[in-house]
Amino acid sequence: MSSLPEFVIQTRGLSRRYRTYEKNPGLWGSLQGFWNRKYTEKIALAPTTLNIEPGQIIGLVGANGAGKTTLIKVLSGLIVPTNGEAKVLGFTPWERNHLYLKQMTVLLGQKNQLWWDISPNDSYALLADIYDLDREQARKRVQELAQLLDCQHVLKTQLRRLSLGERMKMEIIGCLLHDPKILFLDEPTIGLDIVAQTTIRKFLAEYVKEKKPTVLLTSHYMDDIAKLADRLLLISKGKIVYDGTVNGFSQKSKSRQKILFSLREPMNIPLKLADQEFATGTLQFSVEVTDEQLPLTMNQITLLPGMTDLRLDPVDFEEVIHEFMRGE
């Protein structure tokens, strides 16, 4: 494969299949499985061709088991693909060349990557030795990043004694210590409360603005994607079903809006607005409409007696994605 310098990530027909063992239920199933195991192959990633330019922030979105993490694992060199080729920064990831590993980072939100039994400061000192960084510079960088994430107070505490949010902040510092050119972030905000999510999202936004790394980000929180990504990859059953901008996606999917209003007195007959029915007695209404349905529906609503608090909201990006995925 000819490697074009304008792309930092290039894949051609990259795919991965897993072999899984299927067991019949119960004791008899276990006995049968002991002698005669039935294996099935599951396609985790269908042949995928991708070109990613330097500095792009890619949001990788899909349901559980869609193949997002598999793609990240292959590109970061964690697993070997079944077929296809890939070059990341000119390296074949699964050869795990140390020069490549020094230029990238992976954050697996569901896994601890720092050392559980020692303090983050000890972990960072170890990382400085692993990445062959200048100790003093690494220490300063830790202080800078900890200040931005507002977590200097826990740097000396054993990792296992920290809260989930604090641990995630520590993991992020560990990932960025060596100034990677490529960031693979798999669910960096998973399980965190809204405050921690916002802090990390803000921090990542500032970091990518300043350092301009290439980022491949997966998240269950669409806000992460909508606020950080400038390119969206939608993945379903191992296939990329959409590749474009976040805005382009919102426009491509039927543009929808939400009309919200209230009634002072309940209606005594059921109400039908934009193909949605509302039972008698309803006082608060939320009507989803397409651009075409909007004028007529607005007209209907303004004629309702006692109508108040009328407003128009865009439908959540998350809802648009979910609707698109349901169609896939």
Partner 1 sequence: MSFFRRNWAFCKLAIVTNLEYRLNYLIDAIASPLITAGVEVAFWTAIFTTAQFSSSQETIGGFGLKNYLSYAIWASFIARISVNWMYEFRMIEEVESGSLNTLLVRPMNFFEYYLSQFLGYKIVTILLSLTVPLVVTILLELPMIWSHLLPAILLAIYYLIFLYILSFIVVTFSFHLTRVQGISVAKNLALWIFSGELLPLDIFPEPYKSWFLFLPFSNGVFVPVAYLTGRVDETALWLGLKSISLGIIVLGLLAVPLWKLGLRQYVGTGA
Q: Which residues bind partner 1 (CB under 8 A)?
A: 18, 69, 73, 76-80, 94, 96, 98, 101-102, 104-106, 108, 110-113, 115, 117-118, 122, 125-127, 129-132, 158, 186
Q: Are 314 and 257 in contact (CB under 8 A)?
A: yes
Instruction: Determine what percent of the chain falls in helix, strand and coil, rounding each to the nearest 5.
Output: 35, 30, 35
Strand ranges for the chain from DSSP E? 9-22, 38-52, 57-61, 83-88, 104-108, 182-186, 214-218, 231-236, 239-244, 256-263, 271-273, 276-278, 284-290, 307-314
Question: Of 21 and 209, which has the nearer Cβ to partner 1?
Answer: 21
Question: Of 92 and 282, which has the nearer Cβ to partner 1?
Answer: 92
State the Cα–Cα distance between residues 95 and 69, nearest whole angstrom: 19
- Rounded to a whole number of angstroms, the minimum distance from the CB of residue 142 to partner 1 is 16
State the Cα–Cα distance between residues 25 and 257, nearest whole angstrom: 47
State the Cα–Cα distance between residues 58 and 229, nearest whole angstrom: 5
Report strand pairing: 83-88 vs 231-236: unpaired
- Rounded to a whole number of angstroms, the minimum distance from the CB of residue 19 to partner 1 is 9
Closest CA to 112 of 103, 104, 120: 120
Question: Of 217 and 289, which has the nearer Cβ to partner 1?
Answer: 217
State the Cα–Cα distance between residues 141 and 131, nearest whole angstrom: 14
- Rounded to a whole number of angstroms, the minimum distance from the CB of residue 291 to partner 1 is 41
- Rounded to a whole number of angstroms, the minimum distance from the CB of residue 79 to partner 1 is 5
Question: Of 186 and 224, which has the nearer Cβ to partner 1?
Answer: 186
- Rounded to a whole number of angstroms, the minimum distance from the CB of residue 276 to partner 1 is 41
CA 71, distance to chain mean position in Å, is 12
- Rounded to a whole number of angstroms, the minimum distance from the CB of residue 140 to partner 1 is 19
Question: Of 13 and 319, which has the nearer Cβ to partner 1?
Answer: 13
- Rounded to a whole number of angstroms, the minimum distance from the CB of residue 129 to partner 1 is 4
Question: Of 77 and 238, which has the nearer Cβ to partner 1?
Answer: 77
Question: Of 124 and 242, which has the nearer Cβ to partner 1?
Answer: 124
